[in-house]
Amino acid sequence: MRRIATAVAAALALGLLLPWAMPATAASAPPAAAAFRQEVPRTILALVDLREEDTIRLSRIHTMVELPLNHLGLSVVYWNVADGLPDLSRYPGLRGVVTWFAGEPFADAAAYIDWVGRAMDRGVRFAVLGQPGVRLERGGRPVPLALANRFFARFGLRDDDGFSDLTYRSKPALADGTIGFERTLSGVLPGYPLFRKTDARVSSHLVMRRADDPASDSHLVVTGPAGGLAAEGYDRYFDAEYNRRQWIVDPFAFFRNAFATDDLPKPDVTTLSGRRIYFSHIDGDGWRNVTEVTPHAAKRVLSADMVRIAAIEPFPDLPVTVAPIVGDLDPTWNGTPQSVEAAKTLFALPQVEPASHTWTHPFQWIFFKDYSRQKEAPFLDRDGTYRPTKSDDHAAETAGEVSDIGRYAVPRAYLQQPFDLDQEIGGALDYFTRLAPAGKRAVLVQWSGDTSPFEDALAAVRKTGGVNMNGGDARFDADFPSITGLPPVGLPVGTERQIYAAGSNENTYTDLWTNRFYGYRNLVNTMRHAGAPIRLKPFNVYYHMYSGQKAASLNALVSVLTAARATELAPVAASIYARIAEGFYTARFEPLEGGRRWRVRDRGALNTLRFDRASATAVDFTRSTGVLGQRHSQGSLYVALDPAVAEPVVALAEIDRADRDPPAPVPYLVEGRWAFSALAGEGTGEGAGFRVAATGYGEGAMVWRVPRPGPWTITAERDGAVLWTGSATADDDGRLALTVPLSGIDPLILRLRPILRPSGGAAG
């Protein structure tokens, strides 16, 4: 598929430059001359104890803390304290440390307290939730109070060795806006320690008082110069009966204060061209199921064809990435000519990107970490093939979660041949690339089964030049009423990284495909809550091919796509989102002279930065390079970077008004449905316009802010041929809204120029 990078290359081939960008002296300064400080630290080291939490994937920090930290622009790495204390010299970009212990992880608490002190002395901030790990040593031996207070003093607190275990007479003496984020303090409250505040620089967010006695005040949630601390039971609420977690503390406010992130440029994976990103991907499970939808059932139409007919062909403006399982297609495994033809027909559609859901569909990835054929022997019948448990009409259900998720009768769906990791990853990508039309390449691996790949599997994807995605099961709705149902951007697995999907598939809405087959229509609630009042996730429509089997599930899917079509979005292929997510982790920021100015390095495909609490802030284009545009939304400033500029410079300035697009001496993008690159000026004087490369799905709705109000002419070209010419009028504030009535799947060059009066002035 031709993607965003194609448009960039086309624009660069035309030699598009930026004559207006900034003064020549600043633009030509070498990077070494501009940099005078080290890079902005944005790494948070999470200390976990994998003796009490089985895996990082299920840890409190990963499932609850990492999403807010990602939103604040921070990348998280993990260290298991069962292996000792980490060497902080291994983390040159370290901004802070976060802990959330449930027990006593340290055999030598004094060594840990000394380690924390040395880290804080070098400017590393700490955020401590739950048990601090300094009251008892491993095995239950008490830590001397004087020693523990060396730790608490770093947070401006002193433990007076008191504890309120009967809280019926306790109530908040102070609870600011940081408290009560998803659940208020109500009912029977947990017991709490008696913390006195000893440092006036520390802000108290929750102070509990017993029996209206000020002498009993205990400061349970605080932030300050060293970081922050939230006492156990007052950080989050946990309902064991329903396995429901909700934040008491506002994690965005708490970590923002603890790690001082206000002026940190935040690489944003939710937004492109000023709009919320949309992407959709389909796992191939159920590919060969025969649909029950009338009248197609009588013709024995495959579910894959039914999805194409009802949910892909009618939505040419919404891209979708389709990932079959080779075992469902290849006739030497369990494929048929009909299942192969279904894939070829899908891949030929312009809006479809080919991808892979693996070769044999592993259900339990860890089973194959140290694989031997002997391990699979109990699952093989006499001829070494998998024993289907369904009728012929639904045989493909054995190749997906539809039949085995949560119980997994076998380690993978197809066992005819020994497991081969190279075949599973690179071989499957090559197979689907050969099925696709020339110019389309399968690069995305969508993890199957438990979506828990081991390190070598992730490395195999990277070595092919591909990207990976799946897992996370994002839900934020009435059944999952908390941001804790939303996963972070990804998961570190050894030295590799798994990228999570941004939405959950229909399995979680249909009780693992056993009932409520209409349930996927509720995806819109998660997408709405994950988009406002703060944008936490892109709009992701993720499902399986067996959604084409039943009328209820197919109708639910179409309703979701219809809702997405009616929303202001910037659609991209799923592999593009995966590369954007990778860019979140690699992006680096180098502070430059002049204040509030940064050079952006190693961002990959990520082309949006966000600045929070920025309603009175705008891009200073005279001190910036490689900036496409800006847009204020939800109190934040979203800055669009030019993909054609490898190391853009972003500078900020204060503005007087926040109720209109900020003025600028150059044209800039406010928002658009397409992706743009290589913005450049054309012409000189009053008639000067600009041109930009563009690519995307559906018609190109967009808004530009231009220096000259009045009428403008727009042309769209491809390969030197003019395909469309139109006009639009910029209002008195220079806001130019227009729609190019073409598909942008194949890259276009747009040229915009003001229309002048014959006398030389702009037309009125």
pLDDT band at 759 (very low <50, low <70, confident <90, very high): low
Q: Across the chain, what does the average pLDDT equal?
A: 91
pLDDT band at 380 (very low <50, low <70, confident <90, very high): confident
- The answer, yes or no, to whether residue 351 has pLDDT greater than 80, is yes
Which pLDDT belongs to residue 407?
52
More confident site: 414 or 240 = 414
Q: Which amino acid is at 471?
A: G
User: Which option is the CATH number for 271-580: 3.50.50.60, 3.20.20.370, 3.30.930.10, 2.70.210.12?
Assistant: 3.20.20.370
Reduce the DSSP state of residue 63 to 3 states and report it. helix
Which pLDDT belongs to residue 239?
86
**Domain 43-264 top-level CATH class:** alpha beta
Q: Where are the domains of the chain?
A: 4-36+592-754, 43-264, 271-580
Q: Which amino acid is at 295?
A: P
Residue 95 CB partners (closer than 8 Å, separation 6+):
41, 42, 43, 44, 74, 124, 125, 259
Which pLDDT belongs to residue 408?
67
Which of 136-140, 240-244, 553-557 bottoms out in mean pLDDT, i.e. has the lowest? 240-244
458-494 pLDDT per residue, tens: 999 999 999 999 999 999 999 999 999 999 999 999 9
Longest dimension (CA), the chain: 90
Which pLDDT belongs to residue 310?
98
The mean pLDDT of 753-759, rounded to a whole number, is 82
The mean pLDDT of 66-94, rounded to a whole number, is 96
495-532 pLDDT per residue, tens: 999 999 999 999 999 999 999 999 999 999 999 999 99
636-679 pLDDT per residue, tens: 999 999 999 999 999 999 999 888 999 999 999 999 999 999 99
712-745 pLDDT per residue, tens: 999 999 999 999 999 999 999 999 999 999 999 9
Q: Can you say how many angstroms the Cα of residue 133 is from the centroid of all Cα atoms in its chain?
A: 31
Please report, for residues 309, 358, 380, 490, the alpha-carbon distance to residue 367 in angstroms, rounded to integers and kept in the order given.
Answer: 37, 15, 15, 22
Which pLDDT belongs to residue 186?
87
Which pLDDT belongs to residue 713?
97
The mean pLDDT of 409-432, rounded to a whole number, is 95
Reduce the DSSP state of residue 440 to 3 states and report it. coil
CB 724 within 8 A of CB 741: yes
The mean pLDDT of 95-114, rounded to a whole number, is 96
Q: Determine if the pTM surpasses 0.85.
A: yes
Q: What is the dihedral of CA 273, 352, 304, 417, to 10 degrees?
A: -110
Which pLDDT belongs to residue 90?
93
How many Å apart are CA 188 and CA 168, to the nearest integer? 7
- The answer, yes or no, to whether residue 420 has pLDDT greater than 60, is yes
Q: Name the residue among 758, 763, 755 with its Cα closest to residue 687.
A: 755
- The answer, yes or no, to whether residue 591 has pLDDT greater than 90, is yes
Q: Which amino acid is at 489?
A: V
Q: What ranges make up the beta strands (E) of 58-179?
A: 75-80, 94-101, 125-130, 157-164, 170-175
- Residue written as tokens 């802990």? 99
Which of 16-25, 202-211, 667-676 bottoms out in mean pLDDT, i.e. has the lowest? 16-25
